[in-house]
Structure 1
Amino acid sequence: MGLSISNGVKNFQTIVIAVFAVFAVIGVIFFATQKPNSGIITAEISLWGTMDKNTFNQISNEIGSSDLTPFKINYKQIDKENFDSQLIEAIASGVGPDAIILSQDKILKYENKIFSIPFSSFSERNFKDSFVEGAEIFLNNEGVIAFPITIDPLVMYWNRDMLSNAGIVKPPVYWDEIYSMVKKITLKDNAQNLQRETIAFGEFSNVNNAKEIISALIMQAGNLVTTRNINNKVQSALDEKTGNVVPATESAIRFYTEFSNPSKEMYTWNRSISNSSKEFLAGNLAFYFGFSSELNVLRQKNPNLNFDVAKLPQIRNSKINKTFANMNAIAALKSSANVTSVINVAGYLIGDDASLLFSKYFNLPPVKRTLLAEKQVDAYRGVFYDSAIIGKAWLDPSSTETNTIFKDMIENVTSSRFRVSDSIKRASMEIQNLTSKISGEPISR
Structure 2
Amino acid sequence: MRSIRAAAIGAVTMSLALAASACGGGSPTNSGGSNDSPRTLTYWASNQGASIKVDKKVLQPELDKFEKQTGIKVKLEVVPWSDLLNRILTATTSGQGPDVLNIGNTWSASLQATGALLPWDAKNFDKIGGKDRLVDSALGSTGAQGQDPAAVPLYSMAYALYYNKKMLADAGVSKPPATWDELVAAGKKLSKDGKWGLGAEGANVAENVHHAFVFGKQHGADFFTADGKPDFTSDSAVAAVKQYVDLMAKDKIIAPGNAEYAQNQSLSDFAKGKTAMILWQTASATLKDLGMKDVVWDVAPVPVQSGSPGTGTMVNSMAAGINLAVFKNTDNLDGAIRFVKFMTSDAEQKILNKAYGSIPPVKSAQSDPAFNSPATTVLKDTLAQSAAALPQVADESQFETAVGTAVKELFADAAAGRPVTTASVQAKLEKAQQQMPAK
TM-score over 0.5 for the pair? yes
Partner of 1:397: 398
When normalised by structure 1's length, the TM-score is 0.67
- Aligned 8 A contact 2:67 2:73 in 1: no
Aligned to 2:119: 116
> Distance in 1 between the 2:202 and 2:402 partners?
14
- Shift in CA distance, 95/159, structure 1 to aligned 2, threshold 3 Å: closer
Post-superposition shift, 1:139?
Answer: 2.2
Aligned residue number for residue 197 of structure 2: 198
Offset of residue 145 of structure 1 = 0.7
Aligned in 2, Cα 1:91/1:324: closer, same or farther, shift over 3 Å? Answer: closer
Structure 1 residues 76 and 285: alpha-carbon distance in aligned structure 2, compared to 1, 3 A threshold: closer
> What's the secondary structure of 1:308's corresponding residue?
strand
Structure of larger gyration radius: 1
Match of 1:288 in 2: 278
Q: 1:93, CA displacement in angstroms?
A: 6.9
Residue 170 (structure 1) shift? 1.4
- Cα contact 2:231–2:433 (8 A) shared by 1: no
Q: Which residue of 1 aligns with 2:238?
A: 250
Assess, with a 3 A threshold, how the Cα gap between structure 1 residues 304 and 144 changes in structure 2: closer, same or farther: closer
Structure 1 residue 323 displacement after superposition: 0.9
Within a 5 Å distance, the mapping from 1:39-438 to structure 2 comes to 45-51=41-47, 52-61=55-64, 70=70, 72=72, 74-80=74-80, 96-107=97-108, 108-109=110-111, 111-112=113-114, 113-118=116-121, 127=131, 130-140=134-144, 141-187=146-192, 195-200=194-199, 204-205=202-203, 209-226=207-224, 235-240=229-234, 247-261=235-249, 266-272=251-257, 276-277=266-267, 279-293=269-283, 295-297=285-287, 300-303=290-293, 306-317=296-307, 319=311, 320-372=314-366, 376-389=371-384, 390-394=386-390, 395-397=396-398, 402-409=403-410, 419-420=421-422, 423-424=425-426, 426-427=428-429, 430-431=432-433, 433-434=435-436, 436=437
In structure 1, the residue matched to 2:21 is none
Q: Distance in 1 between matches of 2:85 and 2:277?
A: 34
Q: Residue 117 of structure 1: SS of its match in structure 2?
A: coil
How far is 1:161 from its partner?
A: 1.3
Conservation of the 8 A alpha-carbon contact between 1:236 and 1:429: no
Distance 2:166 2:209 in 1: 28
C-alpha offsets along residues 368-422 of structure 1, whole Å, 9 cap, x if unaligned?
Answer: 3454477655333333333443444533227555432222355568866674266
3-state SS in 1 of match to 2:232: coil
DSSP 3-state at the match of 2:340? helix
Q: Distance in 1 between matches of 2:91 and 2:165?
A: 49
Aligned-partner residue type, residue 322 of structure 1: N
The one-letter code matched in structure 2 to 1:156 is L
Shift of the 71–354 alpha-carbon distance from structure 1 to 2, 3 Å rule, reads farther
What residue number does 1:12 align with?
Answer: none
Superimposed CA distance per residue, residues 189-235 of structure 1 (whole angstroms, 9 cap, x where no aligned partner): xxxxx74432347x9349994443333222333333457x66xxx54
CA shift, 1:77, in A, is 0.9
Structure-2 separation of matches of 1:133 and 1:326: 9
Structure 2, unaligned stretches of length 5 or more? 1-37, 48-54, 391-395
1:273 to partner: Cα distance: 6.4
Distance 1:73 1:226 in 2: 43
| Structure 1 pair 254–91 and aligned structure 2 pair: CA distance change class (3 A) | closer
- The superposition leaves residues 217-260 of structure 1 with CA deviations (integer Å, 9 ceiling, x where unpaired) of 22333333457x66xxx5424335xxxxxx43233223223333
For these two proteins, the number of residue pairs brought into alignment is: 372
Deviation at 1:288, TM superposition (A): 1.4
For residues 98-128 of structure 1, give each alpha carbon's deviation from its aligned partner in whole angstroms, at most 9, with x where no partner exists.
33222235432464111223479769xx858
Mapped partners of 1:215, 1:259: distance in 2: 16
Are the equivalent residues in 2 in contact too, given 1:151–1:367 (CA < 8 A)?
Answer: yes
Do 1:153 and 1:388's aligned partners in 2 also have CA atoms closer than 8 Å?
yes
Letter of the 2:315 partner, please give it: N
Question: Structure 1 unaligned runs (5+)?
Answer: 1-41, 188-193, 241-246
Identical positions, percent: 15
Gap change, CA 1:146 and 1:379, over 3 Å in 2: same
- Secondary structure of 2:141's counterpart equals helix
CA–CA distance in 2 between the matches of 1:377 and 1:86? 36
